[in-house]
Amino acid sequence: MNALLPLARVTQTIEQWLSDYLEESGCRGFVLGLSGGVDSSVVASLCRRITSYTLGLLLPCGDTPSDAVEDAILVAKKLNLETATYDLTPAFNALVNTLGVSKEEVDPIVLGNMKARFRMVTLYFIANLQHRLVVGTGNKTELALGYFTKFGDGGVDILPLGGLLKREVRELAEFHRIPDHIIQKAPSAGFFRGQTDEGELGATYDQLDTLVSGSTPEGLSEEKIEQLRQRIRDNEHKIMLPPICPVKF
């Protein structure tokens, strides 16, 4: 973390931003997906400190690991956070069956993206019903690499951690007293059993943070570094609005 921006000030800055945005939006509070990971835990803490009208949704879908649900519940209890649980598995399976495909024949990443979009639909349904803002949990490293699902976990109203690298989020988690095992466990999008962010990306978050910061990470081949840089270039579209054809008559 930048020595000129200590953790207390980071927290204060984000909380003021959240408070201002909430007031300007005219909404009553926040809703977010609570995954049991470090990013959603920090976002939940920040939002809960702003308003008690913060809701964490637990949205298991398919083979969501049981420890992820357990960790999400643990964080919610620690923060005195209101939660609701909706098992999206039946709806997910029904759509796959309707499309006439077998899950065994489909790339697990494609299925994972579908799960993320099911969660987005659920979050916005609850947000619309209860007049809340949908708060995203993505950090600067994930956004730069495009490591999120377009119109899935990337489909949100606000991103309070979007300016922080993964290592900075972990430092902020310690400041907010998020349980150590949540901070230290391998980050995972939960797309399929055994999936981890670092395993899929082929680099550690320390290496990815360094790359996103504009420096050259150690321990990676030149070929891998170039692949990751190309990934950043290829995924710029995911953080932009859809292009509009400039038709003129």
174-208 confidence digits (pLDDT tens): 999 999 999 999 888 777 777 889 999 999 999 99
pLDDT attached to residue 124: 98
| Residue 246, domain member (yes or no) | no
The radius of gyration of the chain's CA atoms, rounded to the nearest angstrom, is 18
Q: Is residue 245 part of a domain?
A: no
CA distances from 242 to 8, 159, 160 (A): 37, 19, 22
Tell me which residue range forms the domain holding 227. 7-239
* Domain annotation covers residue 41: yes
Q: What single letter denotes the amino acid at residue 218? A: E
Residue 140 lies in a domain: yes
The band of 5, judged by pLDDT with boundaries at 50, 70 and 90, is low
Question: Does any domain span residue 211?
Answer: yes
Question: What's the CATH code of the domain at 58?
Answer: 3.40.50.620
Domain count, the chain: 1
Left (φ > 0), alpha (ψ -120 to 50) or beta: where does 100 sit?
left
- Residue matched to tokens 């059993």: 193
